[in-house]
Chain A
Amino acid sequence: MAKKAAKPLRWLRLDNAAKIFPATIRKNWSNVYRMSATLSDDVDTVILKSALDIIVKRFPSIAARLRKGMFWYYLQQIEAAPEISDEYSYPLVYMSKEEMGKCALRVIVYRDRIAVEFFHSLTDGTGALIFLKNLVAEYLERRYRVKIPYKHGIVNRRDPPAHEELEDCFPRYAGPVSAGRRETSAWHIHGEPTADGFLNLTCFMVPVKEALEIAHAYNSTLTVFMGAVIMQALMNLQKEKNPDSRWQQRVKLMIAVNLRQLFPSSTLRNFSLYTIPEADPRLGEYTLDEICKIIKHKMGTEVTAKHMSRVIATNVNNERNPLVRLIPLPVKNAVMRAIYDRVGIKKSCLTLSNIGQVKIPEAMARYVKRFDFILGVQAEAPYNCGMLSYGETIYINFIRSIKDAELERHFHAVLRELGLHVTVESNLSGGEQTCIV
């Protein structure tokens, strides 16, 4: 089907999943994540800025500012590309509402790395990756005079945005029956917070081939396998902190689900949900094989079009209610924030979001050394984990807002026992003064 050209964009309603994020912004926390590409040479910021000028026009729903209406927030297209920012000692520096009011994304350059930080209301990981790929493609074309073919998410940047890319797909795929929201509380990691909101990043680099071999030995996909390793690490950590199993709490992992795999869609807005496998340590110790089965079966029953259409219906029905729609925004914010604080925060120990294998055209791959996906920490829980694979390596980025790398140590211990060769790096390598550990 031929894509229809969109009219010049002035503003967009937030999609269904995006509505919760502005309501839950705090004084020191907002839901921001980062997608970055590391190139073979240092980045020329003048050329990158000219490439960004093109990209912001091509992706108006992502290069946007967050504005406040009487009843809902909305996105407004930005007139000009934001300035390129310098890197700080840690990623995902707090993005305030004032900053989002000017532009809800940042483009950051550090040596050979181009990073884009997105407020989650703009798009999900899939949309963010397409934005970054096209930004890098435009930059490489201008810098090295190469022609990069339109495939693997690279589009013609001179074309106007297609309607399908701007669509909120949630209402279209809402099922006739809604699902319940009931969810038990999970164990939460506590630790001494870092000073001044500093975030510690630890990146584990694992060979894809080795990890896949072991994952297949457990009859699992990479997401299931890595999810199981994280859950095993969480259980070991909880046992270390609280050896009496009677007082231990459920270990739950929120795994992001890309709905584009279940429903036909080419939207660049948010179109993802989650599933939460859990293990209860009070029932005894779990082997990695058992945890893999728990996650696999949970995903098998929940990551289906039918089940997800029920979950979508639950979320969409609320915003369709005319009475809810008429409630002024400050009241809506207070209610959504209260629900999030009461239920949302406690749902899981941490989130694992796997972007999957990043593919780019051959002409581009010779200039791109690696990609990284970094989730911000949750409002109350101090950890989160984003992963992707590029080339022969899986990049697993743990972010944390506490001083001690206790979960990372347990995660590495599980991988080591499995015989995986892991290399680790962090954002503390820049100098002793930033070493908070």
Chain B
Amino acid sequence: MYCVKCGVRLADTEKKCPLCSTVVYHPEIKRKPAEPLYPGNKLPKESSDSTALSGAIVFLFLIPLVICFFADFLIDGEINWFGYVGGALVITYIAFALPLWFKKPNPVIFVPCNFAATALYLLYINHATGGGWFLSFAFPIAGGLCLIICVVVSLLYYLRRGKLYIFGGAFIALGALMLMAEFLMGVTFGFKFIGWSVYPLVVLALLGGFLIYLAANVRMREILERKLFF
């Protein structure tokens, strides 16, 4: 029997063409019965190693969390500094250990989760210290950084090409974020605008521009690859 689409001759075992997935059918030709080359629907069992490892890591995180809680509480019967330590431990867990529960953790989902956890942590510190800087400084800076990193991660994850363009653009955006940081510091903390952010902006913009130029210039890229190969 031949595939009607791609014309390849098919072994009697094939129900679909292995090359183009076209169903094998001919109203006038009766095919010889043949055993499949491999058994159908028999897949290896999932390994439980990663679940056990993830469980062990949760336990490892819980130990310092519980110790810190009691150490703080037993001193004067109040919670003073535990929130800072506990929050930092939770953020570390979300960043490094939480993805281990998933077989193929998608960074496009986990990166915003990390930023959300960090923003909540900053909000807690702001509240605990009576800072009044969260909405006018921490939130826009963390939000801007989150936006840049999320865009980079999403493009890298789904496009799989154009890395130089992506990183070039990200550097330029980071430079702009520096400028915004200095401006917001002035608004929030009353610092005088002296223009320090222009220096990282210029450096990052030059770096980003160079990467974009490199991305567009194949010859230059090859020369650099040849010279810098290790």
Residues of A within 8 A of B (CB): 86-91, 93-94, 96, 110-111, 182, 190, 196, 198, 200-203, 205, 246-247, 342, 405, 408-409, 412-413, 416, 421-435, 437
Contact = CB atoms under 8 A, between A and B. Distances in A.
B16 A424 contact: no
Contact of A423 (B11, B35, B37): B11
B15 interface: yes
Contacts of A422: 8-9
Contact of B41 (A86, A408, A430, A437): A430
A94 B49 CA distance: 14
A424 B14 contact: yes
B37 A424 contact: no
A427 B38 contact: yes
B62 interface: no
Given A96-B47, A422-B9, A426-B37, A88 B18 contact: no
Contacts of B218: 246-247
A246 B16 CA distance: 37
Chain B interface bracket (under 10, 10 to 19, 20 to 34, 35 or more): 20 to 34
Contacts of B15: 429, 432
A430 B7 CA distance: 22
Contact of B19 (A93, A182, A412, A435): A412
A236 B209 CA distance: 34
Given A405-B19, A416-B7, A429 B43 contact: no
B63 interface: no
Contact of B38 (A91, A409, A412): A91
B33 interface: no
A87 B42 contact: yes
A347 to B, nearest CB: 13
A426 B14 contact: yes
Most buried by B among A86, A201, A429: A429
Interface string B1-33: 000001111110111111111000000000000
18 contacts: A87-B42, A88-B39, A89-B38, A196-B43, A196-B46, A405-B19, A409-B6, A412-B6, A412-B8, A413-B6, A416-B7, A424-B10, A424-B17, A429-B15, A429-B38, A430-B42, A432-B15, A432-B40
Contacts, number: 113
Given A111-B35, A409-B6, A431 B21 contact: no
A342 B17 CA distance: 37
A249 B75 CA distance: 66
Contacts of B13: 425, 429
A408 B3 CA distance: 14
Contact of A93 (B9, B36, B41, B44): B44
B9 A423 contact: yes
A426 B18 contact: yes
Contact of B43 (A198, A202, A408, A412): A198
A424 B8 contact: yes
Contacts of A424: 8-11, 14, 17-19
Nearest to B2: A423
Contact of A429 (B7, B36, B46): B36
Most buried by A among B11, B37, B43: B37
Contacts of A432: 15, 40
A69 to B, nearest CB: 24
Contacts of B42: 86-89, 430
B41 A433 contact: yes
A430 B18 contact: no
A87 B38 CA distance: 7
B192 interface: no
Given A111-B35, A182-B229, A202-B18, A434 B40 contact: yes
A408 B18 contact: yes
Contacts of A246: 218
B227 interface: no
Contacts of A91: 38
A89 B41 contact: yes
B37 A430 contact: yes
Given A425-B13, A426-B18, A430-B40, 11 more contacts: A86-B42, A88-B39, A90-B38, A91-B38, A408-B19, A412-B6, A423-B8, A425-B10, A425-B18, A429-B37, A429-B38
